[in-house]
Amino acid sequence: MADGPVDLALLPMNSVIGDNGELSIAGVNVLELVEKYGTPLFIYDEDELRLRLQEAISAFGPNVAYASKAFLCKAMAELVVEEGLRIDVSTGGEMAVALAGGIDPSKIVFHGNNKSIRELTEAISIGVGTIVVDSFDEIERIKRLAGMLLDSGSQSKSIKILVRVTPGVEAHTHEFIKTGQEDTKFGFSLASGAAMKACEIIKESKEMVLSGIHFHIGSQIFLTGGFLAAVEAIGPLVNSLGVKELVIGGGLGVAYVNGEDQLSIAEWAKEVKKGVVASGISSDVEVTAEPGRSIVAHACITVYQVGTIKKLPGIRNYVAVDGGMSDNPRPVLYGSGYEAFLPREANAQRPMEARLVGKHCETGDILVFEAHLPSDIEVGDFVATPVTGAYGYAMASNYNKVPRPAVVFVSSGVDRLVIRRETTEDLLRLDQ
């Protein structure tokens, strides 16, 4: 029922609703957290983050990488280190934060469709574990840089390379987050022969070692059909090259709203590995992945404070909060859906229909298009949206000079601030 309570399955793993209706996560009362840190506030259940990282390792083995674009800060990188995964970074910035979190460079998988000379120089100099190449220009750049840097005493002998292949399949997801089709800026086309050509150049080069094939068909994908079609398409290339690693990217979809269903990481791995066997890919090929959203999305809620409520008779109700598209641009970018609820009465019925909007100067500044809320909601209340752990803070901006929110991790009754709230000084620190 849309006007029933928010589905508890959408809340972080250690969520408990007390007898008074108040929500706690990992033994920490959410209302006390917002009292302490203010709003908007991202609250992550640290034990759930760890559990998802462990699940990824159990499903795909120790070479699985966490896709840090979904959410990255030093504390997150530290969890990845502690749980033993590799980390996927797609810019020099993500690489720097991962290193600051203590990642061993050999565990970095460096992605990106347009890596700069500076970024590649840094990556090669520190000895990143793997570079995922995306274009012929980049292959040339790596050869040239490796020739210079490896001669001049860099630690690595030759660079491990994965080739990102576009398998030519359409994933069932939003147009902007589909990446496996022919018409894309990413990777080398399988159909045109570009993928084979890239692999041959790498195999002939003394600076690079072809360690495997990579594909990533998109994000927020619920059906495994796209992954299976990609595996089937890529199988002959993998076999003919005799490579020992196949990376199926990320992309596993997560449930955002009541009634949605999702596969676990284990189920996803099982299905895809079945497809690998069915496609005749040699059994000594290691199949691994780089999940992002499915690790971090569900572990987090964002809490806002209600500033105004406008009831436009015959049109709609607007509930405006103190954040918006600057801390969660997904609704504006992809029309994504979310639930909303009040942490003071987390299991309340939600008969009031409203649009949950932010404080930005855009009509499109929408957090929940068709929110259901308790009818006693009032100005000053705290309202939360669940499943905001992926591509929320990661995509946050300072639009309208709104400071970015704080992020806390909670575990075993203890909260710790992992990213402090920005201040006015932060907003001015680049101005000369």
Active site residues: 361
* Amino acid letter, 12: P
Question: Contact with ligand PLP (CB under 6 A): which of 251, 358, 386, 392?
Answer: 251
Q: Does the protein bind ligand PLP through residue 88 (CB under 6 A)?
A: yes
Least distance from C-beta 253 to ligand PLP, angstroms?
8
Q: Does the protein bind ligand PLP through residue 290 (CB under 6 A)?
A: yes
Distance CA 368, CA 316 (A): 13
Question: Contact with ligand PLP (CB under 6 A): which of 115, 160, 293, 344?
Answer: 293
Which tokens is 144 given?
């040239």
Question: Contact with ligand PLP (CB under 6 A): which of 168, 292, 343, 389?
Answer: 292
Which tokens is 11 given?
């809340």
Nearer to ligand PLP, 39 or 224 (CB): 224
Identify the CA nearest to 105 among candidates 92, 114, 95: 95
Q: Does the protein bind ligand PLP through residue 404 (CB under 6 A)?
A: no
Binding range to ligand PLP, per CB under 6 A, among 19-27, 138-146, 250-258, 317-325: 250-258
Q: Does the protein bind ligand PLP through residue 67 (CB under 6 A)?
A: yes
* Amino acid letter, 403: P
Residues 164 to 223 in contact with ligand PLP, rule: CB under 6 A: 216, 219
- B/e letters for 130-162, b = 16+ CB within 10 Å, e = fewer, are bbbbbbeebbebbbebbeebbeeebebeebbbb
Least distance from C-beta 88 to ligand PLP, angstroms?
6
Nearer to ligand PLP, 162 or 281 (CB): 162
Question: Contact with ligand PLP (CB under 6 A): which of 101, 129, 212, 250?
Answer: 250
Q: Does the protein bind ligand PLP through residue 291 (CB under 6 A)?
A: yes
Question: Contact with ligand PLP (CB under 6 A): which of 11, 34, 43, 70?
Answer: 70
Nearer to ligand PLP, 126 or 395 (CB): 395
Distance CA 96, CA 77 (A): 11
**Phi, psi (rounded to 5 degrees) for 410:** -125, 145
Q: Does the protein bind ligand PLP through residue 329 (CB under 6 A)?
A: no
Separation in Å, CA 421 to CA 38, 210, 221, 303, 305: 9, 43, 32, 14, 15
Least distance from C-beta 250 to ligand PLP, angstroms?
3
Which tokens is 334 given?
């992809």
Residues 110 to 139 in contact with ligand PLP, rule: CB under 6 A: 111
- B/e letters for 305-338, b = 16+ CB within 10 Å, e = fewer, are bbeebeeeeeeebebbbbbbbbbbbbbbebebbb
190's CB contacts (< 8 A; 6+ apart) are 165, 166, 167, 168, 233, 234, 237
Cα 366 versus chain centre, distance = 21
Q: Does the protein bind ligand PLP through residue 340 (CB under 6 A)?
A: no
Question: Contact with ligand PLP (CB under 6 A): which of 11, 48, 69, 169?
Answer: 69
Binding range to ligand PLP, per CB under 6 A, among 64-72, 261-269, 279-287, 410-418: 64-72
Question: Contact with ligand PLP (CB under 6 A): which of 40, 101, 180, 249?
Answer: 249
Nearest residue to ligand PLP, by Cβ distance, number only: 250
Least distance from C-beta 219 to ligand PLP, angstroms?
3
Q: Which long-range contacts (CB under 8 A, 24 or more apart) does 127-130 make?
A: 127/154, 127/155, 127/156, 128/95, 129/86, 129/105, 129/160, 130/86, 130/160, 130/161, 130/162, 130/211
Distance CA 72, CA 290 (A): 14
Nearer to ligand PLP, 67 or 241 (CB): 67
Q: Where are the alpha helices (DSSP H) in 289-422?
A: 293-296, 330-334
Residues contributing to the site for ligand PLP (CB under 6 A): 67, 69-70, 88, 111, 216, 219, 249-252, 290-294, 390
